[in-house]
């Protein structure tokens, strides 16, 4: 299971951004990409911010337990489930430590920005995509 190294990458990148990138000073990497320091109190991409941290901690914990159960019951989708678990756990660690999730990847075209995200969000997205791809490929 690759979860520990993925969690390390996630937490190290979030720590570096939290300690070295002031919230009001984005770092331009490419014309369409910058590193920002955003405190996300909501769900993915900042939605549902009014629900509160405790709600997200409970929802994420339940989701992790369910995915672990599925993982150990069927090793068939181990890569996708591992990525989903690592992503959920990375963001749960933030919620427990800080009360919010550290987001820092900002992709944009001109003034139109995709909501900031992080390594955990990327792992979750890739894991869900792989899982759906595999499910649709079977059918």
Which residue ranges make up each domain of the chain? 33-134
| Residues with active-site annotation | 103, 121
Which tens digit of pLDDT belongs to each residue from 16-43? 999 999 998 999 999 999 999 999 987 7
Give pLDDT tens digits for 103-138: 999 999 988 999 999 999 999 999 999 999 988 887
- Encode pLDDT of 37-96 as tens digits: 999 987 766 666 667 788 999 999 999 999 999 998 877 789 999 999 999 999 999 999
One-letter-per-residue 3-state SS of 62-102: HHHHHHHHHHHHCHHHHHHHHHHHHHHHHHHHHHHHHCCEE
pTM of the model: 0.90
Task: Count CB neighbours of 129 within 10 A.
Answer: 12
């Amino acid at each position: 299971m690759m979860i520990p190294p993925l969690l390390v990458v996630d937490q190290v990148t979030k720590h570096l951004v939290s300690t070295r990138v002031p919230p009001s000073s984005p770092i331009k990497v490419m014309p369409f990409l910058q590193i920002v320091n955003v405190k996300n109190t909501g769900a993915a991409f900042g939605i549902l911010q009014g629900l509160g941290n405790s709600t997200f901690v409970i929802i994420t914990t339940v989701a992790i337990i369910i995915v672990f159960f599925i993982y150990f019951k069927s090793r068939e989708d181990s890569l996708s489930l591992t990525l989903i678990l690592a992503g959920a756990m990375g963001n749960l660690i933030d919620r427990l430590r800080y009360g919010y999730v550290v987001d820092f990847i900002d992709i944009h075209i001109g003034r139109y920005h995709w909501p900031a995200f992080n390594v955990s969000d990327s792992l979750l997205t890739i894991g869900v995509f792989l899982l759906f791809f595999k499910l649709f490929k079977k059918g």
